[in-house]
Amino acid sequence: MSHDEPLRAVFMPALVAVLRAAEQEKNAPLTEAEVLAVRDNAVCMTVPLSVAHGLDRSRGVPRHLA
């Protein structure tokens, strides 16, 4: 990791986990507006790209989506 490495925003915890929890709490699929509200209020951190890739791997994100 270098100081000039590009940064990437990463949801903490993973956005899919937050959305899944919101659906389970509602006990029904979320509407588009609800998904956007969850996303807009989720915690996000900016990390170096190499750290983001490591998080993607640990979360099981397919390489082509990382």
Give me the domain span that covers residue 51. 7-65
Kindly tell me if the per-residue pLDDT of 58 is higher than 50: yes
pTM higher than the cut 0.75:
no
pLDDT one-digit tens code per residue, 6-17: 998 889 988 989
Number of independent structural domains in the chain: 1
Question: Binning pLDDT at 50, 70 and 90, where does residue 64 land?
Answer: very low
Report residue 42 as tokens. Answer: 């989720």
Asked if the structure places residue 13 within a domain, the reply is yes
Provide mean pLDDT across the span 34-53: 92
Q: What is the per-residue DSSP string for 21-60?
A: HHHHHHTSPPPHHHHHHHHHHS-EEEEEHHHHHHHHHHHT
Asked if the structure places residue 1 within a domain, the reply is no
Identity of the highest mean pLDDT range in 1-10, 29-38, 49-58: 29-38
Asked if the structure places residue 2 within a domain, the reply is no
